[in-house]
């Protein structure tokens, strides 16, 4: 892992965004860990979050034209990431996002922000992808707006679990489905490796029970690890 990835894991824990316990995912699975981007609550946190996303995008995709944020959590993500790409990397990158319902007055339409143009290289920015549902709703909106190039999808944490197929992760599956690259700031394996026997802000994060439950969850739902 790169230093910024280790910093990101500590940042998620300190922000109470990454927590361990008993939770249920959107797909209905009982999970021993949860990533809730809705717990980033201050300007400083969101600004720092954008810098982590920006670095991951530069590493994975290089230059892109547009960041797209699926409503609602994706909206602040693309705003802060576009700002970080400009401030930290000198790349003034456009952004847009969707409304949940089309607007029938004023400028109208479903998309807000940069008007998509043919040939735009677009990266979708999400918090976490478990089943890929929001991406399957998002891509048709983008392709209906213009003949874009779907450059990729970036998430904060790759949960490395199966979606509809047994042989790949849900993140990789949605990438294959739409012919785009996928990336994450960190994977759940990297999270566990980093936090094992480690304290954040003076407190231990993962206990033996947590590690056992995560291992059992990965055994049941995890995608095959890359060789």
> Which amino acids are annotated catalytic?
103, 105
Q: Are 169 and 161 in contact (CB under 8 A)?
A: yes
Tokens 């007055």, residue located: 105
Q: Which two tokens stand for residue 84?
A: 């970080």
59 Cβ contact list (under 8 Å, min separation 6): 183
Alpha carbon 90 to chain centroid, angstroms:
22
Q: Which two tokens stand for residue 10?
A: 């500590």
What's the rounded Cα separation, in Å, for the pair 123 and 63? 10
CA distances from 43 to 76, 84, 111 (A): 11, 13, 25
Ranges assigned E (strand) in the chain:
18-24, 30-35, 66-69, 94-103, 109-113, 121-125, 149-158, 181-187, 199-200, 203-204
**Three-state SS across 200-214?**
ECCEECCCHHHHHHH
């Amino acid at each position: 892992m790169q230093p910024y990835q280790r910093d990101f894991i500590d940042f998620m824990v300190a922000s109470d965004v990454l927590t361990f316990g008993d939770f249920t995912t959107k797909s209905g699975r009982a999970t021993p860990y949860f990533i809730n981007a809705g717990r980033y609550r201050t300007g400083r946190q969101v600004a720092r979050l954008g810098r982590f996303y920006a670095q991951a995008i530069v590493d994975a995709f290089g230059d892109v034209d547009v960041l797209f944020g699926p409503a609602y959590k994706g909206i602040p993500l693309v705003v802060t990431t576009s700002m970080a790409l400009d401030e930290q990397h000198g790349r003034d990158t456009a952004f847009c996002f969707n409304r949940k319902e089309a607007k029938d007055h004023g400028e109208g339409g479903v998309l807000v922000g940069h008007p998509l143009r043919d040939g735009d290289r677009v990266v979708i920015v999400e918090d976490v992808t478990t089943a890929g549902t929001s991406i399957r709703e998002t891509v048709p909106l983008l392709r209906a707006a213009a003949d874009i190039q779907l450059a990729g999808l970036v998430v904060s944490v790759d949960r490395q679990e199966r979606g509809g197929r047994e042989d790949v992760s849900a993140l990789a599956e949605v990438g294959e489905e739409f012919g785009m690259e996928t990336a994450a700031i960190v994977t759940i394996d990297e999270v566990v490796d980093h936090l094992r026997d480690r304290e954040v802000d003076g407190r231990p994060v993962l206990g033996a029970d947590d590690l056992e439950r995560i291992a059992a969850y990965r055994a049941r739902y995890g995608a095959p690890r890359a060789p």
